Structure 1
């Protein structure tokens, strides 16, 4: 995903998590959250990297969209 393609201004929300152990349930929940985010008004995209530390950045059209999410 290329955030530069979004019309400015846009907003990013950064979420971090520390994984104690990888599990199928965690992956399933992450996929559900991604699906739900895509359904929200103002959602632009998401990027994620997970190892011992998980970092997820979601991109939003405006602050109201973030508040609603």
Structure 2
């Protein structure tokens, strides 16, 4: 997988998930990999970028808001969200934004 998502020409949407983890892995790494694998199969998924250090940041890219709603409602994703709330995160924030412009090399 590329470190930088290969997104289409804007507009598209970004879901930005920022978190502080609790101590230990407790299955987190395996679940994170599974969620990327599962998201990649969802209609409207465009790509993902992630960095996990003191603050974890994962940005997933989507073609439209309905695709984001469907991903949030996915049963396996909801189970992972519950584990995150109960076990893996001391705090987190999700932001959804529309990408109007992008550029890079």
TM-score range, shorter chain: 0.7 to 0.9
In structure 1, the partner of 2:46 is: 44
TM-score (norm 2): 0.59
Distance in 2, matches of 1:6 and 1:24, equals 36
Please name the residue that 1:61 is paired with: 63
Question: Which of these residues, 21, 26, 29, is aligned with residue 27 of structure 1?
Answer: 29
CA contact (8 A) 2:40 2:47 kept: yes
Contact persistence 1:20–1:52 (CA under 8 A): no
In structure 2, distance between residues paired with 1:2 and 1:35: 14
Structure 1 unaligned residues grouped into runs of 5+ = none
Change (3 A) 1:13 1:67: same
Q: Over the residues paired in the alignment, what is the CA RMSD in angstroms? A: 1.5
Cα distance in 1, alignment partners of residues 47 and 9 from structure 2: 12
Q: Which runs of 4+ in 1 moved over 4 A?
A: none
Per the normalisation by structure 1, the TM-score is: 0.86
